[in-house]
Amino acid sequence: MFAFIGVFIGTVIGVLPGIGAITTIALLIPVSFGMEPLHGLILLTAVYYGSMYGGSITATLLRTPGEVASVVTAIDGYEMARRGRAGPALATAAIGSFIAGTAAVVGLMLLSPVLVKLAVFFGAQEYFLLMLLALMMASTLSTGSRLKAWLATLLGLAVGMIGLDPQTGTPRETFGLLQLHDGIDFAIFAMALFAVPEAINNLCNRGKAAEPMKVQGKIWMSREDWRRSRGPYARGSVLGFLIGVMPGIGPSLAAFMSYVLEKRISKHKDEFGKGAIEGVAGPEAANNAGVGGAMVPLLSLGIPGSATTALLLFVFMMYGLQPGPLLFQSNPGLVWAIIASMYVGNVVLLVLNLPLVGLFVKLLSIPAPLLFSGVLAFVVLGAYALSFSLFGMLMLLVFAVIGFFMEEYDIPLAPAILALVLAPLLETNLRRGLKISGGDLATFVDRPASLTLVVVCGIVILAPLISMLVARRARAHISASA
């Protein structure tokens, strides 16, 4: 019952822009305080993975990501909806979430001890290089110019630096405004870049938005959709779980990395960014597997694997419980009941949402002026609810203008979002690694794992240049032969 309630609340909250799992869990902590520890923890854990799927609904239908991990889903999911294939997009998201979530719980049961040892082996240097690699690969999130993708990445990094320095407390890029000391909230940035420009474009009848979007064909997945989704389900499950295990990263990066992987190996590369079902299936599987992965260091070591699990750690301690190896010995019934509830919750997620795909798709039959006016209203309300101040709404306007011009000049949005999310972690691990080594840059190549990541980063930088030179030589050889 508590798993059902948590999944339902998480799905609804994931749909609403600007709130997210962290805010919801924070609001429910006073409610859970009066419950038994088992019931309260099951409820809040179910909210966590329920919100992962909920965010994909509006990302697909309205291009309004409800969660960080849903940003990637908005790229191809929304294009599928525009082509009349919102049903298969939502169906593959639900099924991928179920498969990956279940696989992650199995991994949580069987692989926790081994994966925790591997995660602990990663130091600040390796985490910095891993996130740097993710930013370098961000250019593959778009189908256009790599230079424009890098510009978007630099914009995200610049916005991520706004606020107080995490170590010295010195204001950075705040322009003397106290309201900027806490930085720019991800939800405002994502809604401003994705939802607002799209809503304005539709309300102004730009493109094909004067009429409601049509739903073509079946609302369920075809045999071809299943065939193309199977591989992304499997790869997203494994990748999401492994990345989720790494403390401090969580499922968001897993969704971005899954999209990059699927685009690299797909036989339909030209469809990415235009409605490839792999671009929905892989990231949705990865972000739900990342939830299970993030629970591994929380339960096994007492180390939060993401911002949300950090809040769950507080809930454990509120009940007088200390997650870690001793928890499995002192209170095994509680731990295994929570793991069992994750099985149940994933089944509930599928049973609850798969029959509602047809209902969700009917949102697209609402006339565009009404639909996107509602989107704008929810976005503005979400921006105000984050801090209950007009300043959040002002920031929404500023970044909406930036997002509008980014779309006008085909500058991709997803790399900017990824850079904003990773900027604090990137900076913290860089400074921590340099502090440990006394400022010696050799610390980033003196261990096998860090050296391997440096080599991979070098390959990512040089590969486009090498392929360009090879293609130029091939063209020159062909023209000379002719």
244 to 107, 311, 345: CA distances (angstroms)? 11, 16, 19
| CA 140 – CA 273 distance, rounded (Å) | 10
pLDDT at position 148 is 85
Handedness of CA 142, 146, 148, 153 (dihedral sign): positive
Domain boundaries, the chain: 2-121+187-385
| CA 381 – CA 397 distance, rounded (Å) | 13
Closest CA to 375 of 215, 192, 208: 192
pLDDT at position 233 is 92
pLDDT at position 235 is 92
Tokens representing 424? 């604090």
Handedness of CA 410, 414, 415, 420 (dihedral sign): positive
Tokens 């798709």 sit on residue: 361
pLDDT at position 210 is 46
Low-confidence ranges of the chain (pLDDT < 50): 207-210
pLDDT at position 343 is 86
11 to 56, 118, 169, 345, 356: CA distances (angstroms)? 9, 32, 37, 12, 12
Query: What does DSSP assign to residue 222?
Result: P
pLDDT at position 306 is 63
Tokens 């969700």 sit on residue: 360
Residues 6+ apart with CB under 8 A from 198: 62, 63, 78, 372
